[in-house]
Amino acid sequence: MRLWQRLFLAFAVLSAFALASFVGWQQLGFRRGFLDYLNGVELERLRAAAPALAARYGEAANWDFLRADPDRLAGLLDPGALWRRPHPPGPPPDLPRGPGRERADTGVPGPAPAGAPPWDRIDRGGFEAGRPPFPPRPGGDPPLPWVHRVTLSDADGAFVAGRPDPPDDAAVVEVSWDGAVVGRLRLARLPRLIGGLDTTFAAAQRRDALIAGGSVLAVALLLALALARRLLAPIRALAQGTLRLAAGDYAFRVDARRRDEFGALAADFNHLAASLESHREQRRRWGADIAHELRTPISVLRGEIQALQDGVRPVGAEALASLHAECDRLTALVEDLYQLALTDAGALEYRFETLALAPLLQEAAELQRAAFADAGLALDVALAEAAPVRADARRIAQLIDNLLGNARRYTDAPGRIRLGLRGDGQYVRVSVDDTAPGVPDAALPRLFDRLYRVEDSRDRASGGAGLGLAICRAIVEAHGGRIEALHSPLGGLRVEIVLPAADSVR
């Protein structure tokens, strides 16, 4: 499976689980709430029927009329319950009813008292005179009415009528007459929905919930599919970009306008592509420049040797000195290339120790003072007190020799070079300043690139291949410092080195 398919499957499983859990929880809560509602409705009906039952108790002065005929309790609590009972086949029996006759419910002649329920209009078969029977409830066999879950006990708790074994959690309604409790009604709770309109309503709610859940799940799956493909679009672009880079197309870039992690990853990819493109161009220039730098002394050597062979130039001390100078130039170039190769490979050896820079700088300046004098340049040394550093004395001497030699070659005579040292808190700063000519602003950041030279003032006639400053940067970075080129207050170039003091090195 591809990644977008796995992501879609994870979204689908999560959505289905969440919806199934919600629908299940909703249905469970609905059934519980619906049962509580039905039980509450029946309890309210029981409370409404309690005054009428108390009135019947007051007429008889006891509960003996129900003990003798317990089935009458249902009709007293809910006259309509008789209608909802299955009636026997055939015509209703001809029972006495109406005013002036013996009432069917009590056997006492005369009309019912004012406000009393019309018990005399209800017969024992479940019919009312002149009315058809109550239609049966849908859903199969009609359940027992709620009155058949009622238990009546007297004030002392003795059973009178109704359900003989009321549960402990049955709701209790007191029956009071003349300010005294004469009985208690207990209504057993519905344990579950038992057919009829109640189960039909619950089934309809369950069906609607399933339809709604299925619809929401279908929409969620479509959105998950679109989201999975949209989320992985940047990854597909990066995968395509990786293939392009592997094929050598370093100019390829991906859209990095997003503001999330994918946008940051795309920006990193573009930075990598730009770096690879830059390195490729640098390698091309490096190869071309190295070939050119090697070609120059070799061409000179070939010309000199050919002139000697042809007799154009006599063999003498001057000719041999010229050949020796070109060999030295070629040797210096090869040595610089070797030093840079060791630096790139991390194989340039360093032996760090805590040392003071002032004596090293003074010694390096004294060794080159005669060469400066021959070039018509003055060398000034201004060494202030500075904290010791962790450094390799041999590499620091090589660094200062390269900087002083670079300044001597590219400073017009008469001129002046100044070597300085000063402490700056946790850092030690070494600077080399020279007089004109200066360096353009655009060239300052590139002076430490390999084989880079400012052609109008630092040409090959002055010597060097443009590798000395690149080696200086490698040495400084190996010591945990930094090097930069600035405009000098003397009118030329300033090269400043910043190294961490020994106390600040962990």
- 100 compared with 261, residue with greater pLDDT: 261
CA distance 387 to 167: 95
Q: What's the pLDDT tens digit per position in 182-218? A: 899 998 887 766 555 566 777 777 788 788 878 888 8
Q: For residue 184, give every residue at least 6 positions away whose Cβ sits within 8 Å of its Cβ, in sequence order, or none.
A: 152, 153, 155, 157, 172, 173, 174, 175
Q: Is the pLDDT of residue 117 over 50?
A: no
CA distance 150 to 166: 8
User: What integer pLDDT is reported at residue 96 of this predicted model?
Assistant: 41
Q: Is the pLDDT of residue 458 over 60?
A: no
Confidence label for 500 from pLDDT (cuts 50, 70 and 90): very high
DSSP conformational letter for 273:
H
Q: For residue 374, give every residue at least 6 positions away whose Cβ sits within 8 Å of its Cβ, in sequence order, or none.
A: none
Q: What's the pLDDT tens digit per position in 163-189? A: 888 888 888 999 898 888 989 999 888
Q: Is the pLDDT of residue 399 over 80?
A: yes
Output the CA torsion 78→81→83→87 (10° steps): -140
Q: Is the pLDDT of residue 452 over 80?
A: no
Q: Is the pLDDT of residue 120 over 70?
A: no
- 364 compared with 38, residue with greater pLDDT: 364
Say if residue 351 is exposed, middle or buried (CB neighbours under 10 Å; 0-12, 13-18, 19+).
Answer: exposed
Confidence (pTM): 0.46
User: What integer pLDDT is reported at residue 326 of this predicted model?
Assistant: 79
For residue 197, the number of C-alpha atoms closer than 13 Å in the C-beta half-sphere is: 5
CA distance 239 to 305: 58
CA distance 106 to 55: 13
Percentages of the chain per state (helix, strand, coil), in multiples of 5: 55, 15, 35
Confidence label for 425 from pLDDT (cuts 50, 70 and 90): confident
Q: Which domains does the chain have, with CATH numbers?
A: 3-86+136-198 (no CATH), 261-344 (1.10.287.130), 349-504 (3.30.565.10)
Mean of per-residue pLDDT scores for the chain: 77
Q: Are 138 and 197 in contact (CB under 8 A)?
A: yes
Percent of the chain with pLDDT over 70: 79
Confidence label for 107 from pLDDT (cuts 50, 70 and 90): very low
Q: Is the pLDDT of residue 105 over 60?
A: no
Run of H or E residues at 65: helix 64-68
The whole-number average pLDDT for the span 116-135 is 38
Q: Is the pLDDT of residue 440 over 50?
A: yes
User: What integer pLDDT is reported at residue 241 of this predicted model?
Assistant: 86
User: What integer pLDDT is reported at residue 380 of this predicted model?
Assistant: 93
Say if residue 114 is exposed, middle or buried (CB neighbours under 10 Å; 0-12, 13-18, 19+).
Answer: exposed
Of 465, 464, 469, which is closest to residue 485 (Cα–Cα)? Answer: 469
Q: What's the pLDDT tens digit per position in 270-296? A: 888 888 888 788 777 767 767 766 777
Q: Is the pLDDT of residue 368 over 50?
A: yes
The whole-number average pLDDT for the span 70-93 is 61
